């Protein structure tokens, strides 16, 4: 079949990434053996090194590719909405929707990734900044529209909001009884607090 070689290559690469997400989410990054990932992906250990420089590169690739995917989805959702207030609420809601939709990926991105010393200390997470930029852009829009307080620094605000979203997601992921963090209510409450705090009186 024409092109089947290339397609199979992609399949194999995808299989490795998917297997890594699954295994790392289940056993944690440090306990996830390359051989575990290889087994789940149905490839030999060595094959992984044809596609990734080393174990950590798998983690960083997951981050980069999945974040870009997420950013695309969120941007698309936001395009359908006008008005800074509703757009901010949509952003908050989408964050939780995506976490719930892909809990294994969320665990890797929000918990395991941070056990990579390299990621924390040296890596420039461009796509994280792109994600944050979505939030700060909404703030700026709102300030231009006059619905958001002009004295709020979008840079500080974006980190506050991200911190809150992130922490609550992490607690949801880690909690055994996830009912303690009902997403619908969590999103509504965060949205309500941040929005009230942000809007002009």
Binder of residue 43, out of DNA, a second copy, none (CB less than 5 to 8 A by kind): DNA
Q: What tokens appear for 139 in the block? A: 């703030």
Smallest gap from Cβ 173 to a second copy, in A, equals 11
Among 27, 28, 34, 73, binds DNA (CB under 7 A): 34
Q: Which stretch of DSSP H or E encloses residue 88?
A: helix 84-101
Please state, as a whole number, how many other Cβ atoms lie within 10 Å of the Cβ of residue 161. Answer: 22
Stretch that binds DNA, among 18-26, 30-38, 122-130, 145-153 (CB under 7 A): 30-38
Comparing CB distances to a second copy, the nearer of 98 and 116 is 116
Binder of residue 12, out of a second copy, DNA, none (CB less than 5 to 8 A by kind): DNA
Comparing CB distances to DNA, the nearer of 35 and 82 is 35
What would the DSSP string read from start to end of 108-176? HHHTGGGG-HHHHHT---HHHHHHHHHHHHHHHHHHHHTSB-TTS-HHHHHHHHHHHHHHHHHHHHH-S
Smallest gap from Cβ 165 to a second copy, in A, equals 7
Beta bridge partners of 148: 199
Residues in contact with DNA by the rule CB under 7 A: 4-5, 8-9, 12, 31, 33-35, 42-47, 49-50, 54-56
């Amino acid at each position: 079949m024409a092109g089947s070689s290339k397609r199979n290559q992609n399949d194999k690469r995808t299989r490795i990434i998917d297997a890594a997400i699954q295994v790392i989410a289940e056993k944690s990054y440090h306990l996830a053996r390359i051989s575990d990932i290889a087994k789940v992906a149905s490839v030999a250990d060595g094959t992984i090194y044809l596609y990734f420089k080393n174990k950590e590169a798998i983690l960083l690739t997951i981050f980069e590719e999945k974040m870009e995917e997420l950013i695309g989805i969120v941007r698309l959702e936001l395009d359908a909405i006008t008005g800074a207030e509703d757009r901010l609420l949509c952003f908050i809601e989408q964050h939780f929707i995506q976490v719930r939709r892909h809990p294994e990926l969320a665990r890797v991105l929000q918990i395991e990734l941070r056990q990579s010393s390299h990621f924390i200390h040296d890596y420039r997470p461009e796509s994280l900044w792109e994600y944050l930029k979505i939030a700060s852009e909404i703030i700026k829009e709102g300030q231009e529209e006059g619905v958001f307080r002009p004295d709020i620094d979008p840079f500080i605000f974006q980190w506050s909001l991200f911190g809150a979203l992130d922490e609550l997601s992490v607690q949801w992921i880690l909690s055994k009884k996830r009912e303690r963090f009902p997403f619908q209510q969590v999103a509504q409450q965060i949205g309500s607090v941040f929005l009230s705090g942000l809007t002009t009186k």
